[in-house]
Amino acid sequence: MSDLYNLFKLRGVKISQIARTMGVGYHSLQKTAKGTYKTPATRKILAAYFGVDAKLLFGKRRAATIRYLMEREIEKQGEKLQRELRARYLGDKRAA
């Protein structure tokens, strides 16, 4: 599985959901994510979904960009888990 697909999985999103959200065809996004299609417009759509420039997501810095996005998502999920645990075990209603 590619790093980009791992990022989808980490975010808990499927390509079909992104396609619906961004108003583009599923197969175009799937093939772009796999690297089969290199259409700039579709690359821009995927990059926009992740909030980065297409040149970063599909260029020479691809691996570093995807790793950065994964690290931010892991941090985000860690913070969410901490809030849930504080609410559950410490009764901190502000945490939830």
**Domains parsed from the chain with CATH numbers:** 3-90 (1.10.260)
Amino acid letter for position 44 = K
Amino acid letter for position 84 = E
CB 57 within 8 A of CB 68: no
pLDDT tens per residue, range 13-41: 999 999 999 888 999 999 998 888 888 99
> Does residue 1 register a pLDDT over 90?
no
pLDDT tens per residue, range 40-64: 999 999 999 999 999 999 999 999 9
* pTM of model > 0.85: no
Amino acid letter for position 57 = L
Cα three-residue angle 89-85-4, rounded to 5 degrees: 170
